[in-house]
Amino acid sequence: MVSAVNNSIPTEGGNSTNGKTLDACTIVIFGASGDLTARKLIPAIYHLFKEKQMPSAFRVVGFARREKTDASWRQELRTALDQFSRTKPVDDKVWAAFAENLFYCQGDLTDDAAYKKLETQLTEFGSGPLRENLLFYLAISPSQFGEVVEQIHRCGLLNKEGAAWQRIVVEKPFGHDLASAHALNQELTRYAHESQVFRIDHYLGKETVQNILMFRFSNSIFEKLWNRNSVDYVQITVSEKIGVGERGGYYEEAGALRDMVQNHMLQVLSLIAMEPPVSLEAEAVRDEKVKLLKSIRALTPEDVAKQIVRGQYFAGAVDGQLRPGYRQETKVKADSNVETFVALKLFIDNWRWSGVPFYLRTGKNLPMSASEVRIQFRPTPNVLFAAKCGNTIEANALTLRLQPNEGISLRFNGKVPGTTLGARPVRMHFSYDSEFGAYTPEAYERLLLEAIAGDATLFIRRDEVETAWQIVDSIRAGWEGKSLTNREFYSAGTWGPIAADDLLAQSGHTWHEPQVIK
């Protein structure tokens, strides 16, 4: 994919991967001492380097407050890589060559002199693309985004115009409601064009999530069925086996709705339900995603009471191990009403999906960690086989398994061998590992490569963020001042509260529980 909005031009030191120009550049990581850098960013860049997918010339500069030398930072990163690399052991020869590109800049984010020091260090790389083509990765708190962007602009490292390019990569959360998201976007675009801002959602970097568009629009047998005429309902499940753990303080502010629905789940929904884009260019794809999100029927407080269920886990066992209740977790209020589970029944008011319910659910301390999309097709008329087979004829279903055991399953009915006419649902299963081998790049590898290439397809545009927050804010408004009911609590190790089952029962539907596929 090539971005429709790309402020890069070919420069010396360029490389090409999958038809994309990769200019020589420097990646500056703010928050270089943090967990994200050690666990995800440096391992991702290392693997891209090992696979010869990085530009032919590049530098990585870590910016953080702690006193370190280039050598000590490199040693810290090597220790982390030994732990977090997706391939072990780490290749010593590859690491030695890679480490020569790693540098450290000590400084406080609030100190003007620190940014001048950074500018001086980048200038030492020369006057070419290593100094001019800059990817700033803000692995820091969103409350610090505005100050950092202003500072790098003031010292001449970030410009809206020019022959070279500069880009800013920011991590979620993108605000905590519509107002804060709008203010954050205003801060980011004060000194940078929207086309220079890359809002990262690691979920969109997953290979199986990216495959949704390929599956939908390149297979005519399914493309023709992807509408209200054939589809009865759609379920999207993102379940987590872990509890809140040490993140109690964060979860008290966020909850499952902000933490998972506003970003990951609405992004998957938009890819599943969007119209085909006119091309695979970034803006064409993102235009369709925004149109889909804007087509989701608005929710009044009365609608929220009928269509949205929240839940909270109490003490229970997961795989035989006792887990504490949410209210007993660290930094959680003893009477907290924060949701650790949420289920939604949404409708999309457009021609393709009119009348088709979309069920979304996500939760903590569920029986297994899994992400999947289930397309439930309409049943055939129950007249031909009813007398012989009874209720054993089930509707067809298509399941896109995003993780783990990535793959696609199609369920259909088959005759049970024998002298009588009996039916049983059977499954055809496609496995990524079996078909393509075990190699699947980490999401951050793909996303970093796209950011270097200037392709924004897998990143979230400003209007996407704000439209998603409008949906979430309307739900939170419906919850305002209301306490959890008994039917909204669930034991750790179960699939959620009774109220979530009630939500589907209203329409005669039931939840499909993800299965372990071997």
Distance from the Cα of residue 227 to its chain's centroid: 25
Please, are residues 146 and 109 in contact by the beta-carbon 8 Å criterion? no
Between CA 178 and CA 184 the distance in angstroms is 10
Between CA 310 and CA 338 the distance in angstroms is 9
Identified catalytic residue from 47, 153, 264, 509 = 264
Between CA 446 and CA 438 the distance in angstroms is 16
DSSP 392: G
Is residue 509 part of the annotated active site? The answer reads no
* Burial (Cβ within 10 Å: 0-12, 13-18, ≥19) of residue 124: exposed
> Could you give phi then psi for residue 64, rounded to 5 degrees?
-160, 170
* Full DSSP string of 93-154: HHHHHHHTTEEEEE--TT-HHHHHHHHHHHHTT-SSHHHHSEEEEE-S-GGGHHHHHHHHHH
Return the bridge partners of 322, or none. 317
The count of residues in the chain is: 518
Between CA 393 and CA 424 the distance in angstroms is 7
Between CA 322 and CA 508 the distance in angstroms is 34
Positions marked active-site? 264
